[in-house]
Structure 1
């Protein structure tokens, strides 16, 4: 709780996959759903980032996981 009072907040998790174009596994989704549901926060949800072997943006998965168990994949738009 001390880190929370200091303004440090958990906003999500990241990891790598050996795939060129990563996709979240069932275990990834279940883990994030569990973390969001068990947490006390005022956020819209938690982010999950998975990094694959291809360069960005193809080698990147980003998803938002909400407290109600719903999630959506976020897309990177190149400018």
Structure 2
């Protein structure tokens, strides 16, 4: 890992060529790494430029129904079923 001063230099270099819109996304992402609750992060998603399609909305409803019906598995359960690949 690079020393902190080199990391900050790299961030400055990378952000110099960004557009205002890209900078806004970068700031939202950086904020998501600390000091934000999950609810805040979900309220202000990084990529919210596209509207949901009808297929997206159907998939969301199906996913919510799966959660309510208990048709979900934790990562640990899946690892056990697959032999902890």
Specify the TM-score bucket, using the shorter chain as the normaliser: under 0.3
Question: TM-score by structure 1 length?
Answer: 0.26
Question: TM-score by structure 2 length?
Answer: 0.25
Structure with the larger strand share: 1
